Each structure stands twice: as C-alpha cells, then as structure tokens.
Structure 1
Amino acid sequence: MSVRTRSVQGATYRFDGLVDLLAKATPKRSGDELAGCAASSAAERVAAQWALADEPLMTFLNEEVVPYETDEVTRLIMDQHDADAFAPVASLTVGGLRDWLLEVATRPDASRILRALAPGLTPEMAAAVSKLMSVQDLICVSRAIEVTSAFRTTLGLSGTLATRLQPNHPTDDLAGVSAAILDGLLMGSGDAVVGINPATDSPQAAADLLKLIDDIRQQLAIPIQSCVLTHVTTTIGLIEAGAPVDLPFQSIAGTQKANAGFGVTLDILREADEAARSLHRGTVGDQVMYFETGQGAALSAEGHYGVGGRPVDEQTLEARAYGVARAFDPLLLNTVVGFIGPEYLHDGKQIIRAGLEDNFCGKLLGVPMGVDVCYTNHAEADDDDMDALLTLLGAAGTNYVICVPGTDDIMLGYQSLSFHNALAVRRTLGLRPAPEFEAWLLGMEMADAAGHVLPRDPLGSPLSRLVLGGAA
C-alpha cells in the first residue's frame, strides 16, 4: 500500500493507499463523514484531489480498492477488464483522463470514441476522474455519450428523455394503480417502464399487478414495458408460474457483502437475466434487467469496507455497482439519488452533485443510466433543488427519470418528480419521448408532430374509459 503526500497552505497531508486517497478527494458528503473517511478540511480535500490528479490510471489495475480474494464484485470488474479498449488512455493519469475526456467531448464522433473506451475503464477509474470534475465538466462529457438500450421502446437516443411511470399505491389497490397509470399516460409518461413498487411481498399481488399493466398495454397497443419491483427471486418464481414478466428488478450495490444484504449474488442475477430473456417478450430489443442503486447503499448494509479494513467512499462504491450492472447489459439502471436519506446526502447541494456524478459514471462505463430525482422529507432539500437537478440532467443526456402523480409518492413516503416536471423539461430543452412511444402518442392524437403532449379531459377520453374500465 503506497503512501501519497501533498502540501497545501504550509501543511503536509498523508494519504495511506488508494482507498484513503479516493475518499479524501471526494466533494463533501455526509455519508463519508458518517463512515469516518472524509477529508477533515477543504485544504485536505484539495491536497487529495491534487495527488489523485497525478495518479496513473494503471494504478487502478494494480492496487485494489476492495480485495479480489474476498469480493466477487472486484473479481467481476478485474476479470472483465478489456485491455485493448483501455489502450488509448493507458498512459494517462487521472487528471490526464479528465483533460482527454473534455477534449474528446467536443468532437463530432465523441460518442463512438467514448463507448469504445467504456470496457477499458474500471468503475474506480470513473469515480476517480469524476472527483476532479466540475458540475459543468460532468454535464459536457455525459451529454457526449449515447448509451442506448431497447425492449419495446428504444431508450437513450440523443435528444430524448424517457420516464418511468411509477403508479405506487399503499395497498396495491388495482383501481388506484390504474388511475395513476392513466394520469401518467395522458401526460406522456411511461416510455422507459411502468414500474410499481409493491406494498407487500406477496407473489400473488405482484402477479395481479403485472397482469393489470399487461392487459392495459395489450388493450391499447402501447409500446411500453412493465416491472413490479419485487425481489429478483420472487420474479424468477413468477416467470416459472407463467406471469407476464417483462423485466426482472433488483437493487444492487458495489460490494459482495452489500449485495448479500439485498439477498442476491451474481449467480442469482444471471439466473434472472437468462429466465427473462428466454421469454422473448421484447419487440425492438432483448435487454431485460432493471437495476436500482444509490450512494450510501453499501454503508447502510455495513458492506463499505475495502483493503486494510478501511471504509471506501460512497461514490466509489456506487460506481462499482455500475460495474455489476454493466455485466448484464441491462435495459435500465437508475440511481435513487436522494432516497436513502440525509445521513448519506445531507442537502440539495450534495444531492445535485451526486446525481450528476452518478449519471456521468454510469454513462462513461457504458450503462443506460437514469436518475430518480428525489429526496426524503427530513433532508435539507426541496422541490427547487429537484427542478435544478432535473434540468441539469436533461442537459447532461440522462436516459430517463422517474415520475409519480404530483411529486409525492404516498406509498414510499418520499418526494420525486411529477409528470408535469418531465413535460416541462422536455419542452424547455427540446427533448422528445422514446420514438416508439411518441408514435403511439401521435396515433392516439395525444401529442403533436413536435412530440409535445396535448391537453385532454382525463375523464372524457377513450383512454380513460379503457384503463379505468379494465380495473373496475
């Protein structure tokens, strides 16, 4: 374990190994302070960032953050590293990679170059360079990378912003869920997925919800995919029972121990992926997995320790979760950026920075990245912060965001985006829905040729009678 030192303002700071250096170089974060790995001052943070900028990228292939011998996530990351893809940047430092990314982002073929690089970058490299980047840097590079995925809609195309329609209900009442689905569809939401967090762990309740969405989809010929966000093992059972499963879902994290806290291993995820692909339910693609992550997940599971028993910073562990997702070529991945709480991201400033870091790291690693722009009611954040983050993410080319009726998820008890928020940012930034979904909106006379959703009487439309009638 090599020691790095830097002197700032007459004081010399020592960083004991790569784990310590990455943690101290991270912008201020309440979760790192909770874990005891954060910089003790702004001066120490600057010293760490200076030292990190001079760190060769090759270091990340020779010095582990989480031990290879005891962690299957590390083994996955290192065993799948593509040396040929890494070659164009192999001689660079972390600071050199930042400069290279910003220069490449100005080229007309930036997306092709950066997508080719993705298999050569480890998550730790992506996390490291993000710590040296300003908010504007994160946006400029993220916007240059197009990461597409497809099932019944094509997501991630340049100039588009998709949405997950989240019609949660505190009792999984089918009429209540249907009303929320109708609300979202009438405002052009749902092209990423109609995804429900079930209120119970009941496989039968999950099956009933899946059938409800699938009936609506088929009745109205809507190009959407559905997901009930139950545990992946429950979804495997639902597939075996013949339920209309489109996408298996699972929360994942950046270490083996944290994933064990979610009750999953890489082998279980492979089983789910293979089971869902075997159904061949996609029409324009066959990517089936849906993953959620969030900075602080590993810390909350006591799975945040790395080499030498040192705590690893939450943003590096978050990027490692994207390394897990990348191995499964998913349709969707989103960070629930403010959902875990102020213990991990204290206020609006930290949430905004984290959301842009997550979007950057995910896209740089080749993952189809989305963000749940959200906060809990006890965080030092409000809707103005979320409006700012949404607009910045729209500029940064995030694949999709999550929307709920009126911003308030009454089942999960947190604040997200509304369907109106997505409409506003699409119009403001000239973004459109996924092309297959936009064609459906046009065919239903619910949008104009520019992709703008048209106002409709929610109770008088044929769509309302079909959706609500089916749930009656």
Structure 2
Amino acid sequence: MAHAHTVASVRYTFNSLADLLAKATPARSGDELAGIAATSAQQRVAAQMALAGLPLTHFLNEAVIPYETDEVTRLIQDTSRTPAANAAFAPISSLTVGELRDHLLSDATTPATLAALAPGLTPEIAAAVSKLMRLQDLILVARKISIVTKFRTTVGLPGRLSTRLQPNHPTDDPAGIAASILDGLLLGSGDAVIGINPVSDNVAALTTLLHLVDHIRRRYEIPTQSCVLAHLTTQMQAMQQGAPLDLLFQSIGGTEATNTSFGINLALLEEAHQQARSLNRAPENPSPNIMYFETGQGSSLSANAHHGAGGQGVDQQTLEARAYAVARHFNPMLVNTVVGFIGPEYLYDGKQILRAGLEDHFCGKLLGLPMGCDICYTNHAEADQDDMDALLTMLGAAGVNYIMGVPGADDIMLNYQSTSFHDALYLRRLLNLRPAPEFEAWLNTQAPHRLTLPAMLP
C-alpha cells in the first residue's frame, strides 16, 4: 500500500509500509548499503511526517514481510490477534504513530500503563514510534519501564545495574578463563550471568567450560547463573550428556531467513527451551527465566535475509525489533543487543552506534523485554571509547538492565572493544545503582582474600 507526504511543494510517495519505515529511519550505513535509505534529509522528513500520521491499526493490516512466507511474521500477527493482545491494544487503538509518541512521553503515562500496553504492541509499531524520537525521548520513556527477571539472581529491579561477566579466552584455556572470572568477581561483576563465548563450538569444549563455571559457583556459593554461548544444538547435546547448563543461549534475528542462517527455527527454539527447563537448575525458583538471546542491527542484511531486491527490503532497525518478538515468545532471562559488533558496514560510526543502542533498548523494553546492551565497536569502525562512555552513561540513565564486563574492555578472543568491570563501577557510583540484591548480599559477606585462583580451578 502506497503512502505519501508533501514537503516544500514536493510530493514524496512510499511504495509500502516497509519502504516508509526505511525512508523514515535516521541515517545508518546498513540501510544505505541495502539501497533502501532516504536519499536526502528532505525525503527522510517527509517519510517521518507520513509515518507520524499513520494510524496504529494500519500495522495490524499490512505486514512488512508476507505472512505466508515468514514464520516470524506469523508469530507477530498471530500473537497480536489474541484476546490479551487486543485488550492491551484497545486504549491506543485510535492513535496514530505520532500520537503514540506523545502518549508515551506524557507524564500521565506511568510505568503501570506501559507494562499493560506491552502485550498489545507489535515490533513494527515500536520501531515506527522510535523513528520519530530524539535520543532524550528514547531515554525518558525507557526509564519508566522496569522488566524484572529471575534465575538465581533478580535482574532489572529499579536502582540496580547488573553485568554479564565475559571471561573469553582465545584458546578456551580454563586457567585463563578462571583468572578473568576472579578479576570480575573482585570488581563486583557477574550478577546477570557469567557468560563465555567459546572458541570451539563442540560438546566437549562446552561441557568443560560449563563444569568450570559451575564448580566456581558452587565452591564459593555465588548467587549467579552461567552460560556458554555455543550453538543451540551443541547445548542440547551437552544437556543430554548431563552438562550443568543454567541459561540457554542463542542468537536470533527478525526474519525466518535470518534464523535459518543461524541454523534455528521457532520449533527448535521451543524444543531446546523445554529441554533446558526440565533440568530444574534453579530449584529454589519455581518458574525461572532460562533463555539468553543476543541480537544486533544488521544481522539480517549481513545474511542477505532482509527481503531486499531491486532497492526493496526492510530496514535493519525494524528487523531488529522483529527479533524481539521471537525473544518475547520465550519469556527470557536476558536479551542483549550487541550494538556495534557487526561493523561499520551496518553502523558506521559512534553516532550511529549510540542511536542504535538507545533505539534497541527502548524498543525491547517497550515490548516487555529485559534489555541489556553490549556497548561495543569493532576496531575498523569510526568510533572510540569516548563514544562508548557516552552510550554507557545514556543507557544507565535509561535504566538498562545489564551491561558487559570484559577485562580491560578489550575482548582478546572476539577482538572487539566493549565495556570493562570498571565501567560498571563508574556507572553504579554515578547513578547510585547497586548489583542484583542476592549478589550484593554475597559480595558483602565474601572477604576478597578468600577468592584465590588455585582454589577456583577444578
């Protein structure tokens, strides 16, 4: 369905909802690479004005990717037609996208209002309203929203900031990983998860690392959860062999084709989810959140799975929001936008990375997800640690659930720049934030000299 708007006597026409959303998106290199970005600031403004006047009900009738060809679209649309979703959508059903922006920013819209609204929103609506917002708008609305999840620790409570302790090692050496874990624990990191990216995606390596972290956790009675970020099928095999798996990890995308490129689909995610839940790894918690998902703008485009041909396609930020529909379906413990990891082909510089991180955090929280952010960049991007400091501080103000804790902020295995244990301490001190309550209580009773490297090794 075509959409149009006139600016300065020039009439701009947009061929479809996907085209309108793409042209309304603030500039980023990925959409330019795909050939779907606005070709001028004037065209972008025209698209944003047309989008502002679009009724929210339109999103229930026009899909950006056809229902018949994409299981993520089917998940989104089938979920939006349930009685619970209809009831949540009803209070805003008469609004346009621009009016929804005003509604979200209104002082009368409380955290309770936003929590009740989340089930009624589609990812495309969340993406659309974010395209009309300044950075301060994205921060202010997200700040109102608290999404709380729990495994052994409770993450997302107001006044708290958690971290993923990320002790990666270029050879998966247990001693090197244990040293990084010790470093992080001594600096108050690891209450969201101790999560290792393995070099080798095989069952033996995965099982070794899971036993290592589980040994440390049990030896020192640390209230946290572990995760080794291997492929879903590798984790399923490890579970079958009795590996002590806490959180189940998978990277996900916003189209069926993206997820196919990751070697997964919704049915496989559901099977793995049920398998992990049957382990009952947090018996003190009768209904734990057990999934850990990672996403990032540009993943669909990098897999040629953005449904683009001849200048058509869905913009990367809308596709990122659609990935959150997949995540939301599984009620996860953690969702992490790895915002600058894919590279400058998708987010060119610090300005684009900063905007994308705040968009992702806003959209995820608006849809009811426990959002964290890997505040990061690759070494060939036009960005530096000053840009990351800015995004770190803004996300702290926006109420981000958790960030990464990487030794020295330099991941020596993945070869990219992230945030350090000290960055989390800075943000906690600046904004008077504390770790998850269970982890904080452990820190307050654990004398630092009791944590020694030899005792941590199995």
**Are residues 1:89 and 2:75 paired?**
no
Whole-Å Cα distance in 2 between the matches of residues 94 and 9 of structure 1?
Answer: 22
CA distance in 2, matches of 1:468, 1:421: 27
Q: Is the 8 A contact 1:168 1:410 kept in 2?
A: yes
In structure 1, what is the equivalent of residue 9 of structure 2? 10
- Please name the residue that 2:266 is paired with: 266
Write the mapping of 1:206-221 to structure 2, written as runs, cut at 5 A: 206-221=206-221
Q: What is the alpha-carbon distance in structure 2 between the residues aligned to residue 113 and residue 185 of structure 1?
A: 37
- Residue 139 in structure 1 maps to residue 139 in structure 2: yes
1:298 to 290, 297, 300: 300
Tell whether the 8 Å contact from 1:67 to 1:307 is kept in structure 2 after alignment.
no
- 2:271 corresponds to which letter in structure 1? E
- Cα deviation for residue 468 of structure 1 reads 3.2
Equivalent residue of 2:336, what SS?
A: strand
Letter in 2 for 1:74: T
For residues 12-58 of structure 1, the C-alpha deviation after alignment (integer angstroms, 9 at most, x for no partner) is 21111101000000000100000000000111100100000000000
2:450 alignment partner in structure 1:
462
8 Å Cα contact 2:172/2:199 also seen in 1: yes
1:51 aligns with 2:55: no
Mapped to 1, the partners of 2:344 and 2:26 lie a distance apart of 15
Match among 102, 105, 113 for residue 99 of structure 1: 102
> What letter corresponds to residue 53 of structure 2 in structure 1?
D
Helix, strand or coil for the counterpart of 1:145? coil
CA shift, 1:10, in A, is 3.3
Letter in 1 for 2:299: A
Cα pair 1:153 1:191 within 8 Å, conserved? yes
Aligned residues: percent identity?
64
**Cα distance in 2, alignment partners of residues 468 and 296 from structure 1:** 42
SS at match of 1:76: helix
Distance in 2 between residues matched to 1:309 and 1:250, nearest whole Å = 30
Unaligned segments of structure 1, at least 5 residues = 446-455
- Which of 293, 315, 318 does residue 316 from structure 1 map onto? 318
> Could you say what secondary structure the match of 1:58 adopts?
helix
User: Over aligned residue pairs, what C-alpha RMSD do you find?
Assistant: 1.3
Give yes or no for contact 2:35–2:311 (8 Å, CA) kept in 1. no
Would you say the 8 A contact 1:66–1:306 is kept in 2? no
Shift of 1:11: 2.2
- CA positional deviation for 1:265: 0.4
Distance 1:308 1:36, change over 3 A: closer
SS of equivalent to 1:253: coil
The gaps in structure 2 that reach 5 residues or longer are none
Structure 2 equivalent of residue 331 of structure 1: 333
Distance in structure 2 (CA, Å) of the matches to 1:19 and 1:139: 25
2:416 aligns to what? 414
Please report how far the alpha carbon of residue 427 of structure 1 lies from its aligned counterpart in structure 2 after TM superposition: 0.4
Single out whichever of 304-313 and 83-92 deviates more from structure 2. Answer: 304-313
Conservation of the 8 A alpha-carbon contact between 1:179 and 1:468: no
Is it true that 1:180 corresponds to 2:180 in the alignment?
yes
In 2, distance between residues paired with 1:412 and 1:64?
36
Q: 1:111 — aligned with what?
A: 111
State the shift of 1:201 in Å.
1.3
SS at match of 1:417: coil
Q: Deviations over 1:63-110 (max 9, x none)?
A: 01011001000000111111111001011000010000001xx35x72
Q: What displacement does 1:470 show?
A: 3.2
- How far the C-alpha of 1:307 sits from its partner, in A, is 10
Q: Which amino acid aligns with 1:7?
A: T
Partner amino acid, structure 1, of 2:93: A
- Letter of the aligned partner of 2:455 in structure 1? G
Q: CA deviation at 1:310?
A: 2.5
Tell me the distance in 2 between the aligned counterparts of 1:42 and 1:290: 38
Give, in whole Å, the separation in 2 of the partners of 1:140 and 1:408.
30
Task: Verify the 8 A CA contact 2:34 2:308 in the aligned structure 1.
Answer: no
Q: Secondary structure at the match of 2:37?
A: coil
Instruction: Give secondary structure in 2 for the equivalent of 1:133.
Output: coil
CA shift for structure 1 position 306? 6.6
User: Contact between 1:23 and 1:32, CA under 8 Å: does it hold in 2?
Assistant: yes
Instruction: Give the letter for the 2:454 counterpart.
Output: L
Q: What is the 5 A alignment of 1:391-470?
A: 391-445=393-447, 461-463=449-451, 465=452, 467-470=453-456
Partner residue, 1:448: none
Amino acid at match of 1:88: P
Q: Tell me the SS of whatever aligns to 1:340.
A: coil
For 2:28, the equivalent position in structure 1 comes to: 29
| 1:187 shift after superposition | 0.4
Preserved CA contact (<8 Å) 1:142 1:397? yes
Contact residue 348 and residue 385 of structure 1 kept, 8 A:
yes
Deviations 1:167-216 (A, max 9, x none): 00000000000000000000000000000000111211110000000000
1:326-384 Cα distance to aligned partner (Å, 9 max, x none)? 00000010000000000000000000000000000000000111100000000000000
Pairing 1:207-286 to 2, within 5 Å after superposition: 207-282=207-282, 283-284=284-285, 285-286=287-288
Tell which deviates more after alignment, 112-121 or 122-131: 112-121
TM-score, structure 1 as length reference: 0.94
| Secondary structure, aligned partner of 1:194 | strand
Deviation, 1:4, is: 1.8
Partner in structure 2 of residue 453 of structure 1: none
- Aligned residue type for 1:71: D
Deviation at 1:137, TM superposition (A): 0.4
SS at match of 2:128: helix
**Which AA in structure 1 matches 2:390?**
A
Superposed CA deviations along residues 367-414 of structure 1, whole A, max 9, x for unmatched, are 111100000000000000001000000000111011100010000000
Residues 361-376 of structure 1: matches in 2 within 5 Å?
361-376=363-378
Partner of 1:449: none
Note if contact 2:21-2:128 (Cα within 8 Å) is conserved in structure 1.
Answer: yes
State the one-letter code of the partner of 2:97. V
